[in-house]
Chains A and B, each alone.
Chain A
Amino acid sequence: MDRNRPTFDDAAYRSGSDADLFASLYDRHVGAIRLYCLRRVSRSDVDDAVSDVFGVAWRRIDQVPDDGTELYWLYGVARNAIRNIDRSGRRRSRLVARLASLAWRAEPAAEVQIVRSEEARVVLEALGSLREGDQEVLRLRMWEELDRHAIGAIFGISPAAADMRINRATKRMAQALRRSGVAEYFEQAPSMIAEVPDE
């Protein structure tokens, strides 16, 4: 759904430079934002999340930083957009539960779904057992491959503080993985994984 993409009429209310700035922002970062959303919401919600992010960017184009950290600003917007989607997802769950009480039976139908492997599911459960802040630090570090400077910019903390949070989150995640038993799965095939020195 592209409801938040600016239309031609919308653009007429903005100066040409705003429209150009937004177009540049979109072209450069839509891929990264899409991946960010893919990693945090269901695939059916990704388009909505991405359009929400750039809808906010369009409305607040004058607040987008111009010092090279605009992607981190967009990540922050995306984080809020995903919180909203999480809320609507819970609402939909309640709706489905209510509908299940109706005297109506669904027709069984086969379908193909892409699902995670068992190991990935356990890893995500371990990730979910951490505090939300630790989860996001790990996602940003491991999935978005951001360094401590970028993570510090997103969280509004110094690179040194970001480093500490990364290390603490990593240790907690490793503990969670070992508790879940899935760590053995990865440790038994060391040839597949390049050893990474402790940072």
Chain B
Amino acid sequence: MNDHTLVRAAMDAADPAPENPSEMAITLVTRQEPEAGGIEALDVDRHAGWRERRGARRWIAAVAAATVAVIAVSSLVILVVGGGSPERSSVARPASVSSDPWCQQRPLVEQPTSESPDSLRAYYTAQLAYALISAELAPPAISYEATVVAQDIRRIHGQLEATGWVDDSIDPSAEADAAAQAVRDYRTIACP
């Protein structure tokens, strides 16, 4: 087998967006305690094989059938494992959140001194730093403010673009979005 054939076959097998999604392997996993290492795969269907570039209909049909079976089994297991757990109501919330000093803090960011790119850039940097710190450390009580700040950064980024300052290596808008997303993640994780 020459290099091109080998690499093409391997890349086809690893294509995360194959033309036929049923060719993907499906594995049933259960989420474990975080300290136990995250998730544990039960490996219902480890080997879905790979697709030949424009053939292998037989394989595809077989994998599709296996996929349907796995989904059916998975649904059943979810019902058994996830449904009506008597310990569900005993999940402990972070006890110290409401007393965290961050709860008492408000956004404190210097306003830009002018519309110059340097001034706006400094303002943006401060805003972003606040949003990121808030996203990582803020308890849920002030995460809303952090989200608003992150949204504000996007507006500032628009001004930066208008004044001609755009750093190709960093997209401030994406950074701000990431900060907002981090806040949402925080809420999702810390406030079940």
Are A and B part of the same complex? yes
Interface set of A (CB-CB < 8 Å, partner B): 35, 38-40, 48, 52, 59, 80-81, 84-85, 87-88, 91-92, 94-96, 98-100, 102-121, 123-124, 126-127, 138-139, 142-143, 170-171, 173-174, 177, 182-183, 186-187, 190, 192-199
Check B182 against A195 for contact (C-beta < 8 Å).
Answer: no
Taking a contact as CB atoms under 8 Å apart, the answer to whether B2 and A102 are in contact is: no
- Are A39's CB and B17's CB within 8 A? yes
Shortest Cβ gap from B192 to chain A (Å): 7
Beta-carbon contact of A96 and B31 below 8 Å: no
**Of all chain A residues, which has the CB nearest B95?**
A103
Q: Does B6 contact A (CB under 8 A)?
A: yes
Q: Give a binary string over B21-38; 1 marks a CB under 8 Å from any A CB, 0 the rest.
A: 000111111111111000
- The answer to whether A108 and B16 touch across the interface, beta carbons within 8 angstroms, is no
Q: Which of B49, B55, B74 contacts A117 (CB 8 A)?
A: B49
Question: Does B108 sit at the interface, judged by CB under 8 A?
Answer: no
Interface residue from A95, A107, A173 paired with B91 (Cβ < 8 Å): A107
Given known pairs A91-B182, A108-B30, A116-B24, the reply for A193 and B190 (CB within 8 Å) is: no
- Determine which residue in A99, A107, A183 has the highest number of CB atoms from chain B within 10 A of its CB, and name it: A107
Q: Interface residues, chain B, CB within 8 Å of chain A?
A: 1-17, 24-35, 39, 41, 46-50, 52-56, 59, 71, 74-75, 77-78, 81-82, 85, 87-88, 91-96, 132, 135-137, 161, 168, 170-171, 174-175, 177-178, 181-182, 185-186, 189-190, 192
Q: A104 to B190, Cβ gap below 8 A?
A: yes
Chain B residues positioned under 8 Å from A48 (CB to CB): 177
B171: chain A residues within 8 A (beta carbon): 52, 80-81, 84
Q: What is the bound-complex CA distance between A109 and B54, given in angstroms?
A: 39
Contacts beyond the supplied A96-B185, A110-B78, A183-B6: 6 A-B pairs with Cβ under 8 Å: A35-B17, A95-B186, A109-B81, A117-B25, A123-B11, A173-B11
Once A117-B13, A124-B14, A198-B3 are accepted as A-B contacts, the answer to whether A111 and B29 lie under 8 Å apart by CB is: yes
Distance in angstroms from A193 CB to nearest chain B CB is: 5
Docked-complex contact B93 and A143, CB < 8 angstroms: no
Knowing A95-B186, A104-B190, A186-B13 are in contact, say whether A115-B3 is a contact too (CB < 8 A).
no
Given known A143-B11, A196-B5, contact A104–B56 (CB-CB < 8 A): no
Contact indicator B33/A108 (Cβ below 8 Å) = yes
Complex partner residue of A112 from B11, B26, B93, CB under 8 angstroms:
B26
Given A80-B171, A88-B174, A193-B5, A102 contacting B13 (CB threshold 8 A) = no
- A99-B6 contact, Cβ under 8 Å, with A87-B178, A114-B25, A117-B49: no
Cα-based distance from A96 to B91 in the complex (angstroms): 18
**B165–chain A nearest beta-carbon distance, Å:** 15
24 contacts between A and B (CB under 8 A): A52-B174, A88-B174, A92-B178, A95-B136, A96-B185, A102-B94, A105-B34, A107-B192, A108-B33, A110-B30, A111-B29, A111-B31, A112-B74, A116-B16, A119-B50, A120-B25, A123-B10, A142-B7, A173-B7, A177-B6, A177-B7, A192-B50, A193-B1, A194-B53
